[in-house]
């Protein structure tokens, strides 16, 4: 049974099912990163939402995007500004009937690398981890420059 079929079965049995996607930002760079903007195109934030002006120090920060129902999509964009200039845009989009898609773009700087990995892609709760590192550090194997399914 596919993830979609399982969700539909549980929904038909009266179970309340929501979809979520967890976005984790791992700053393994030496850069101080400030959230410039965070906007959802689908769903709501669960728990702590990213706030413009917040500085992300080294380490991991996670945000959860929750759909309003089993059939509602989730998606959004977070833009970070390194203290040395440039920008890092990370976005995602997922509906239960389509594959989750993640995007990542670094612009205006050559000192930052962006990569990502995905997990739990066929569950109610896929996860995307964006890794931000310094250029010159061993490049992550899945460098992101354009959208692709996760």
Give the integer Cα–Cα distance in Å for 107 and 80: 11
State pTM to two decimals: 0.80
List of domains in the chain? 18-149 (2.60.270.50)
Q: What is the pLDDT of residues 66-102, one digit of tens each?
A: 998 877 889 999 999 999 999 999 999 988 777 788 9
Element (H, E) at 92: strand 87-94
Q: Quick one: tokens of 148?
A: 């692709």
pLDDT at 6: 54
Model confidence pLDDT, tens digit, residues 110-141: 999 999 988 877 777 889 999 999 998 554 44
């Amino acid at each position: 049974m596919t993830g979609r079929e399982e969700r539909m079965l549980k929904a038909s049995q009266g179970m309340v099912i929501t979809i979520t996607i967890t976005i984790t930002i791992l700053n393994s760079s030496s850069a101080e990163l400030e959230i410039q903007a965070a906007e959802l195109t689908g769903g709501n934030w669960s728990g702590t939402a990213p706030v413009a002006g917040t500085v992300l120090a080294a380490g991991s920060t996670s945000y959860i995007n929750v759909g309003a129902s089993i059939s509602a999509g989730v998606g959004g964009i977070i833009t970070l500004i390194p203290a040395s200039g440039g920008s890092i845009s990370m976005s995602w989009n997922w509906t239960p009937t389509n594959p989750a898609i993640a995007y990542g773009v670094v612009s205006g700087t050559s000192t930052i690398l962006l990569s990502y990995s995905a997990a739990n892609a066929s569950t109610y709760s896929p996860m995307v981890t964006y890794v931000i590192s310094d250029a010159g550090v061993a490049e992550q194997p899945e460098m992101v420059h354009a959208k692709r399914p996760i």
